[in-house]
Amino acid sequence: MSNIRLEKVTKRFKDITALNDISLSIKDGEFFVLLGPTGAGKTTTLRVIAGLERQDAGSVIFDDTPVDKLMPAERDTAFVFQQYSLYPNMSVYDNLAFPLRSPMRQTPEPEIRTRVTEAAEKLRITHLLQRKTAKLSGGEMQRVSIGRAIVRKPRIFLMDEPLSNLDAKLRESLRVELKHLQKTQNSTTLFVTHDQIEALTMADRIAVLDDGEILQVGTPHDIYDRPATTVVAQLVGTPRINLLDAHIEDGALRVKNSTVQMPLPNGNTMPETLLLGIRPEDIRLGQGGEFAGKVILTEPLGVETIVHIRAGEQIFLSSVPGTAPYGVDTDIHFDVARDRLHFFRPDGVRALS
């Protein structure tokens, strides 16, 4: 296993800049997640590291040695694709053995057998070894894909949204399994996804990527509690963070188009107009609440209920544990947890306070 570094890497496709001068550092044994919306440049980053794309500027470094001149085969990385990663004409066993049978490696057959059975056991697909891949379910296929990466014991695992094509339930169980696997194997992994739950639950550290630029790097706690920009704040957390236009007036913070206002928090380094971020779990409903509004929608999810409230012309989303006894069009009062507010400048960057 290795530590990987990207130094000032830029990649352009015709007139689109997919990656703009990005630098990243992934530690040995770390589960590092690259999170961002579609088109952010996450897959391009993986491909540059694997050697499937050549960058226009900057360097890729494995363990302090630049690998820019090496072919994909020589870099010793394992790639798990989102789909189309299994060879349809071969059995599961042959798919798992394929990397080891490459002329470059020339592993003897008995060793191939041991390594393949070992990987199959870890991923609980031993009973599928003789089946043709075309006859597998989506979850089983992804397990085999991951198995193909594991047999090789590479320096780093590069995973490109491997769970995105699976049913919600399958995704949940594979997530936990993958994380446990990674922790027990101590394998350096770079995992790409647009699903923030995957990022939060699996990562040791997360890098948020948007439009070819890195917005923030940090632990899941960092990203969730102290998002550096409004894009990051909106990307993590379900339901999405409430992001409201606000301004300072008469020493108080006023939310636009609404009756919600509160005294200025400590420290006066607040811009005149700003964006106020409040996470739904930090809006508490109750009779004694400070602010008033009307319920326009409830979404009961069982474990919690998402209540959509209109206060003035603004809509606030609040997340309430369990069932909420509010019907549509009821009047309601709510409070805001003052110590858990997020303040952003109008350009989207976090305002330090």
Question: Rounded distance, CA 184 to CA 126, Å?
Answer: 20
Q: In which order are the strands placed within the sheet that holds 261-263?
A: 261-263, 252-255, 242-249, 273-278, 342-344
Are 89 and 144 in contact by the 8 Å Cβ rule? The answer is no
| Least distance between other proteins and beta carbon 16 (Å) | 11
Helix H segments across the chain? 42-50, 72-75, 92-97, 109-122, 138-150, 168-185, 196-202, 220-225, 230-235
Within 10 A of 148 (CB to CB), how many other CB atoms are there? 24
| Least distance between other proteins and beta carbon 270 (Å) | 25
Of 57 and 176, nearer to other proteins (C-beta) is 176
| Least distance between other proteins and beta carbon 36 (Å) | 11
Angle at which helix 109-122 crosses helix 138-150, to 10 degrees, equals 130
């790097």: which residue's tokens?
A: 217
Residue of 185, 149, 128 lying closest to 50 (CA atoms): 149
| Least distance between other proteins and beta carbon 235 (Å) | 8
| Omega of the bond leading into 110 within 30 degrees of 0 (cis) | no
Helix H segments across 229-284? 230-235
Are 204 and 31 in contact by the 8 Å Cβ rule? The answer is yes
Of 38 and 130, nearer to other proteins (C-beta) is 38
| Least distance between other proteins and beta carbon 74 (Å) | 8
Of 164 and 330, nearer to other proteins (C-beta) is 164
Question: What are the tokens at 29?
Answer: 């044994």
Strands 242-249 and 252-255: antiparallel
- What sign for the dihedral angle of Cα 140, 142, 145, 149? negative
| Least distance between other proteins and beta carbon 117 (Å) | 19
Within 10 A of 252 (CB to CB), how many other CB atoms are there? 11
Of 118 and 195, nearer to other proteins (C-beta) is 195
Of 229 and 270, nearer to other proteins (C-beta) is 229
